Amino acid sequence: MNDGPSKVEASHILLTHAEGARPASERTKDEAKTAMEAIKAELDGGADFADLASEHSECPSGQSGGSLGEFARNMMVKEFEDAAFALGVGETSDIVETDFGFHLIQRTG
């Protein structure tokens, strides 16, 4: 049985909160989710993912438009991996919650 690709290439936007594993922000979990919902609305309105990642992401990858490059299964936390591998190339996820915070993931390859 084919479970899809063994590797994907993706970018993401990460917003952390004070309750997360590696907080880069003092915002509450609810504030982080609300902020991510606003970013998602900008994306849905046609904004560029890389521009939004550069502006908002609290991951070092934000400096490169959110690019994480290529990764295989079992390299990311389960929730992130499940969402990234479920996307088609060019698709963007709904908001994904992990121990690190809230993510938007765009599959780029």
Nearest to 77 by CA among 97, 94, 95: 97
Close Cβ partners of 46 (under 8 Å, ≥ 6 residues apart): none
pLDDT at 1: 40
Q: The tokens of 15 are what? A: 């917003």
pLDDT in tens, 36-77: 999 999 999 999 999 999 999 999 999 999 999 999 999 999
Where are the chain's structural domains? Answer: 7-107
Residue 81 binned pLDDT confidence (cut-offs 50, 70, 90): very high
Spatial distance between the Cα atoms of 11 and 109, rounded to a whole number of angstroms = 10
In contact, 61 and 68? CB cutoff 8 Å? yes
The matching CATH number, chosen from 3.10.50.40, 3.30.465.10, 3.30.450.40, 3.40.50.2300, for 7-107 is 3.10.50.40
pTM of the complete model: 0.93
Residue with tokens 């606003």: 38
Residue 34 pLDDT > 50, yes or no?
yes
SS3 1: coil
Q: Which of 75, 81, 68, 74 is nearest to 108 (CA)?
A: 68
